[in-house]
A and B are shown apart, each in its own frame.
Chain A
Amino acid sequence: GAVVSQHPSWVICKSGTSVKIECRSLDFQATTMFWYRQFPKQSLMLMATSNEGSKATYEQGVEKDKFLINHASLTLSTLTVTSAHPEDSSFYICSARGPQTGGRGSPLHFGNGTRLTVT
């Protein structure tokens, strides 16, 4: 099946610093990847859609200047949390649709997630 790799799996950073999270599709090409965020006991919330070779599309309420997304190749998308604050502490998960159909009807495959803690 489709494999999505995410790195790092956890990170602790100081307030005001930036953190980069990588998401790779290992055995298929993904023109579109999705970044989700999940707070404890809450649902996954879509933050943005990462589009290869073009600008990301952000959901309402998500600051594009704070959460920088780069999708420079068909297998790699990165999310950079800039000037992180404690309220940014969360579980960040990337995902992509598998290679079989790729259309909107196909399911998402998730990376293992990144636990971010901002102190």
Chain B
Amino acid sequence: DGGITQSPKYLFRKEGQNVTLSCEQNLNHDAMYWYRQDPGQGLRLIYYSQIVNDFQKGDIAEGYSVSREKKESFPLTVTSAQKNPTAFYLCASSAQTGDTDAFFGQGTRLTVV
């Protein structure tokens, strides 16, 4: 079955530590996205990528980094520079043309203590 997988579902980290969230898709989608969602809020775009080895900052990229070495994978690193990292993180992918819907992973809930 094709889909998009995020892992882990829940993640706890100590303040000051970097942490990497995994996102893998087998839908052969070119475009991948990372969003952050805070309680009662909408989705805010962190980074997005249209093709391998290329990615662009979204609206709230500070304190985050990404890589796109393979089409299937778009990991997100939450660095110690991110001042308020506790949130629900969602990864999505879509066909590059943009006229198709984005498929979402199940999300990773990151809690920094």
The answer to whether A and B come from one shared complex is: no
